[in-house]
Structure 1
Amino acid sequence: MATVKVYDQNKQECGEVTLAPEVFEIEPRPEILHFVVRGQLAARRAGTHMAKTRAYVSGGGVKPWKQKGTGRARAGSNRSPVWRGGAIVFGPTPRDYSFKVNRKIRELALRMALSSRLADKGLMVVKNIEIAEPKTKLFAGVARTLGLEKALIVAPEVNETLIRSSRNIPGLNFTTPDQLSVLEILRHKQLVLLEGAVEPVQARFAKGE
C-alpha cells in the first residue's frame, strides 16, 4: 500500500493517508488508456457536418443549353458536381462518432490513470482549501504556495467559492469523484485530492475489482 503525505494549504505536513493498491497501484497499459480517451473525444464530436448533394442543392432545374448543335459539351444541369457552385459528391453527412467502451474497461482505465499520477509523483493530497471569499487573487496565492501549475483538483463535493475563485486561472480545474474522467486526469500534470475526496474516489473505483 502506498502512503502519501497530507499537506495543508500552506504546504505544511499535517498527516499521512494510505491509498488503496487496487486503485492507485495498477500497471498502466497505454493501449487501454488510448482506447478510452479516444472514446471520450469521439463522444464529444457533434457530427453535424454536411455538404449538399444533388438532392439538396438548389437550382439546376433547366437544361443549360440544347443537347446538340452548340459545339459545347453536353450538360443537363448547372448544378452538376463538375460545375462551379454545383453539388458535392461523397461529401460529409451527419453521423454519430461515438462508440461503446465497456464499463469494466472504463473503470480499469480510470484506475490506471490514477496510478500513473501517483507513479510519476504528480499526485498530492491536501487537507482542505479554504478562502474567505471567491477572489482569484486569494486562490492564486494558495495555488502558488502549493506549486500548482496545470492541476486537476478533486473536491469531495461542488464548492462554488473555490470554483469561482479558480476559473480564471489557466490550467487549474475542479471536479468531484463522480465526475472524474481518464481524459481530464491525463491532460493535467498534477492531480490534487482534497482529503475528503480520497475515500469517495477509492470507494468508487475499488468496485471495479
Structure 2
Amino acid sequence: MPTVGLFNKEGQKVGDFQLSDVVFGAEINQHAMHQVVVALLANKRQGTQSTKTRAEVSGGGIKPWRQKGTGRARQGSTRSPQWIHGGIVFAPKPRDYRMSIPKSMRRVAMKSALSNKVAENNFVVLEGLELEAPKTKEIVKMLNAFSAKKTLIVTAESNENVYKSARNIQGVEILPVNNINVYDLLKYEKLIITKEAVSKIEEVYA
C-alpha cells in the first residue's frame, strides 16, 4: 500500500496516511489517459461553427461578363470562392464532436492519473481545509509551504470559503471531489487533496 504524509494546512506533517493500492498504486496506462483527455476536450466543443458555400451566399446570379473577347479570365459568377464576398470552399458546418468512452477505460484512466501523481511525489494529503471566511492569504501561505505553483486543490464537498480564497490565484484550481477528471489531474502539476476526499475516491474506484 502506498503511504504518503498527512499534513495540516500550515504544511506541517502530522502523521502518515495509507492509500489504497488498487486506486493509487495502479499500473499507469498512458493510452487510456490520452483517449479520455481527447474525448473530454472533444465533448466540450460546441460544434456551432458555420460559414456559407457559394450556393448559400446572396448574389451572383448573372454571368459578370461574356465568355470570350474581353481579355479577362472567364467567370460564371461573382460568388465563386476566388471573389470578394464569394462563398467558402468546403465551408465548416454545425456538427457534433462528441466521443463515447467505455466506463472501464474511464476508470483505468482515473486510476492511472492518480497513481501517476503519487509516483511523482506530487500528491499531498491534508488533514483538513476549513476556513472561517474567504482569505486568499491563507491559501497562498499553504501553497508556499508545499512549494506548489500549478496546483489542483480537491475538497470532499463544495466549500465556498475555500473556493473564494483560491479562485483569483493564478495557476490554481479548486474542485469538489465529485467534479475531478483526468484532464485536470494531468493539467496541474501538484494535487492537494483532503483525506475525506481521498476516502470518497477510494469508495468509488477501489
Category of TM-score, reference length = shorter chain:
over 0.9
Amino acid at match of 1:43: N
Residue identity matched to 2:135:
K
Give me the whole-angstrom Cα distance separating, in 2, the residues matched to 1:145 and 1:135: 16
Partner of 1:89: 89
SS in 1 for 2:47: coil
Decide whether aligned partners of structure 1 residues 12 and 137 sit closer, same or farther in structure 2, where only a CA change above 3 A counts: closer
Deviations 1:49-76 (A, max 9, x none): 2221022212112332244554544433
Structure 2 Cα separation of the partners of residues 165 and 152 of structure 1: 14
Deviation at 1:108, TM superposition (A): 0.6
Larger deviation, residues 65-74 vs 109-118: 65-74
**Structure 1 length-normalised TM:** 0.91
CA distance in 2, matches of 1:153, 1:82: 52
Q: Which runs of 4+ in 1 moved over 6 A?
A: none
Once the two structures are TM-superposed, the CA of residue 11 in structure 1 deviates from its matched residue by 1.8
Q: Secondary structure at the match of 1:16?
A: strand
CA contact (8 A) 1:153 1:191 kept: yes
Give TM-score scaled by structure 2 length: 0.92
Q: Is the 8 A contact 1:79 1:85 kept in 2?
A: yes
Contact residue 156 and residue 196 of structure 1 kept, 8 A = yes
1:36 is aligned with what amino acid? V
Q: What does residue 44 of structure 2 align with?
A: 44
Comparing 88-97 with 103-112, which one deviates more in the overlay? 88-97
Q: Name the amino acid aligned to 1:159.
A: N
| Matching residue's letter, 2:33 | L
Q: 1:150 to 1:69 in 2, by over 3 A?
A: closer
Q: Does 1:118 align with 2:115?
A: no
* Residue identity opposite 2:172 in structure 1: L
Contact kept in structure 2, 1:63 and 1:75, CA below 8 Å? yes
Q: How does 1:75-86 map to 2 (within 5 A)?
A: 75-86=75-86
Amino acid of the structure 2 residue aligned with 1:84: I
Asked if the contact 1:28–1:112 (Cα under 8 Å) also holds between the matched residues in 2, the reply is yes
The alignment status of 1:55 with 2:55, answered yes or no, reads yes
Quick one: which amino acid aligns to residue 203 of structure 2?
A
The aligned amino acid for 1:9 is K
Query: Does 167-176 or 142-151 show the bigger shift?
Result: 142-151
Could you tell me which runs of 5 or more consecutive residues in structure 1 were left unpaired when the two chains were aligned.
none
Which moved further from structure 2: 116-125 or 4-13? 4-13
**Distance across 1 between alignment mates of 2:146 and 2:30:** 30
Identity percentage of aligned residues: 40
- Spell out, residue by residue over 1:18-72, the C-alpha distance to the aligned partner (whole angstroms, 9 max, x if none): 1111101111121111111111111112222222102221211233224455454
1:9, 1:146 within 8 Å by CA — same for their partners in 2?
no
Query: Any unmatched runs of 5+ in structure 2?
Result: none
Aligned residues between the structures: 206
Letter in 1 for 2:45: R
AA partner of residue 96 (structure 1): D
